[in-house]
Amino acid sequence: KEYIGEAQHFTTDNKEALESFRIKFLSKKGILNDLFAVFKTVPNDQKKEFGQTINLLKNTVEEKVKTILESLESKDVQGLYGDLTRPGYPFEIGARHPISLVKNEVISIFSNIGFNVSEGPEIEDDWHNFEALNFPEYHPARDMQDTFFVQTNPEHLLRTHTSSVQVRYMENNKPPLRTISPGRVFRNEAISSRSHCIFHQVEGLYIDKDVSFADLKQTLLYFTKEMFGKSKIRLRPSYFPFTEPSAEVDIYWGLKTETDYRITKGTGWLEIMGCGMVDPNVLTNCGIDPNEYNGFAFGMGIERMAMLLYQISDIRMFYENDVRFLEQFKSNF
Ligand code: PHE
């Protein structure tokens, strides 16, 4: 009974002392084993009480060792990590750049109808940026794309559109093809609130058998509805060397109720992309037989769409990395 009292009062914050306490009572040559040996010699009428007392001692010692060990271990953890119940430090999370937000949205909309994503180099050769796309040498349409040349003879340039990626994709894959090519493009234009010498595009390409202009229009309608809400589009005849016929796509924005449209400020038709049926010459240049296959292509500027959707008035803001601008996109994933 004295031992029980001793065990109950035992306390320590030291692992070695705890271990000697354990050895003293619980080891092979410890007190408890001695008492169990004595137990055998105790007269029968005292056996019950004696047995209960040793069991109580055993439980008390075991319980003690366990609780002290636990508290010592938790102190070790606290020593390493401090108070684990303390509230955490707040930290700032970043935001995705609006160009990435819009790009990811376009990718997801086209992924839903089976388009994959293709990418290519920003420094291109003349073939992939111009020649294969039906811009012959000295063709005036080359002037439409004010090109930055990196090297002459052989010519290397900063791609003026991601149509170059579509050429590479057609050269390396067999139809049917459904791909979109997002990426950075470069044009030697004066920098203003409306235009920049670096911007981003997503171009799309669809090649299969018996593709019609109606397929193109329906695809664009699907896209603009997903992207801008209930929208009206109109196609205006236009010219690109690599598509025939070609059209420019306008979207009508800022109508009726705010919930119908994601674009709410202002009203009117606004051009958002170019498109058309891929010129047979382009297919031939890329190793696809135009008698067997045809298709459509389209291309749009990401900054233009981001400016519309987020009411950004100056394109230069995208490249300044001013945190006051970037922080405003925090809630958007
Ligand atoms: N490549 C054209 C541009 O950069 C856009 C476009 C793509 C037009 C595909 C028609 C078809 O201006």
pLDDT of residue 258 exceeding 80, the answer is no
Cβ of 175 less than 6 Å from ligand 1:
no
Which pLDDT band, with edges at 50, 70 and 90, does 217 fall under? very high
244 annotated to a ligand binding site: yes
Q: pLDDT higher for 50 or 211?
A: 211
**Protein residue with least CA distance to atom 8, ligand 1:** 274
User: Would you say the pTM of this structure is higher than 0.95?
Assistant: no
- CA 195, CA 316: separation in Å to the nearest integer? 8
pLDDT of residue 139: 78
Alpha-carbon distances, residue 9 vs 3, 6, 60 (angstroms)? 10, 5, 10
**Protein residue with least CA distance to atom 5, ligand 1:** 299
Instruction: Classify the complex by whether its ipTM is higher than 0.85, answering yes or no.
Output: yes
β-pair type (177-186, 116-117):
parallel
Residue to mutate, 240, 243, 244, 302, ligand 1, most ligand atoms under 8 Å from C-beta: 240
pLDDT of residue 56 exceeding 70, the answer is yes
- CA 180, CA 162: separation in Å to the nearest integer? 9
Distance 159 CA to ligand 1 centre (A): 12
Which pLDDT band, with edges at 50, 70 and 90, does 213 fall under? very high
Alpha-carbon distances, residue 135 vs 102, 128, 162 (angstroms)? 30, 10, 15
pLDDT in tens, 159-198: 999 999 999 999 999 999 999 999 999 998 899 888 899 9
What's the gap between Cα 102 and its chain centre? 12
3-state secondary structure of 209: coil
pLDDT in tens, 103-161: 999 999 999 999 999 999 999 999 999 999 998 877 776 766 688 888 887 889 999 99
pLDDT of residue 262: 60
Cβ of 164 less than 6 Å from ligand 1:
no
Distance 332 CA to ligand 1 centre (A): 29
Distance 203 CA to ligand 1 centre (A): 7
Cβ of 275 less than 6 Å from ligand 1:
yes
Phi-psi region of 268 (alpha: psi -120 to 50; beta: other; left: phi over 0): left
Cβ of 303 less than 6 Å from ligand 1:
no
Mean pLDDT of the chain: 89
pLDDT in tens, 263-306: 555 567 888 899 999 999 999 999 999 999 999 999 999 998 99
- CA 18, CA 40: separation in Å to the nearest integer? 29
